[in-house]
Amino acid sequence: MHEIQPFHRWLQYYDPVSDEVTPFHGKEYNYDVYSETIYGYYIDPAWDFMGSETLYLKILFTDYDLRYSIIEFIGEWNDAINNDVMHLKRNVLEPLIENSIDKFILIGESVLNFHGSDDCYYEEWFEEIQDGWIAAVNFREHVLNEWTNYNIDSYVNFGGSLEINNWRTMKPHQFFQKVDSLIQRRISI
């Protein structure tokens, strides 16, 4: 797990350390020391702690004018024991929502498992972004199946055309436009 790094090519366009809205503003990274772990496995120091011992993230890009944020995850999404969605909602998403972000792209290629509980925080998140949306890109099939079992598909768009394997070849705005057009198609059907 220590070899899995968050996508870093967009740092030239956006760095959460410089964004006063994020909880990671001013954070200093020590790339010589691997101190954070998930189930005893060290993870790359570039991942950010959001309050969960099993799920870490990296805000890859946020645009306050177009009102979207792209967030990449690593680990196990565990709402049953750690209430990960609560930590995500309270510690990361609420400051973004308070600053007009209402479209979220969640990248889950490195989310290895999901353990559900109830859907209250997903519902709360969905209601707070009224005209926006939440899109999950490239999550593993068994994670998406569990999300469906816990009714998360009522709040988060995923699967089908949202499997975008070439997203790393795009610039942030291109990726957002692609996801936005796919979501708009789903909404208009």
Residue 66 lies in a domain: yes
Residue 9 lies in a domain: no
Provide the 10 A C-beta neighbour count for residue 54. Answer: 18
Which pLDDT tens digit goes with each residue over 82-98?
899 999 999 999 999 99
pTM for this one? 0.96
Residue 178 lies in a domain: yes
- What is the mean pLDDT of the segment spanning 16-43? 94
* Distance separating alpha carbons of residues 176 and 182, to the nearest angstrom: 10
Length of the chain (residues):
189
- In the chain, the amino acid numbered 131 is D
Write out the two tokens for 140: 């593993």
pLDDT of residue 188: 74
Of the chain, the percentage scoring pLDDT greater than 70 comes to 99
Residue 21 lies in a domain: no
pLDDT of residue 155: 96
By the 10 Å C-beta count (0-12 exposed, 13-18 middle, 19+ buried), 185 is classed as exposed
Residue 24 lies in a domain: no
pLDDT of residue 189: 62
Total count of domains within the chain:
1
Residue 1 lies in a domain: no
Residues whose CB falls within 8 Å of the CB of residue 37, separated by 6 or more in sequence, listed in order: 43
Residue 87 is part of a domain; what is its CATH number? 3.30.750.24
**Are the C-beta atoms of 157 and 133 separated by less than 8 Å?**
yes
**Are the C-beta atoms of 43 and 2 separated by less than 8 Å?**
yes
State the residue range of the domain holding 138.
47-188
Residue 160 lies in a domain: yes
Residue 156 lies in a domain: yes
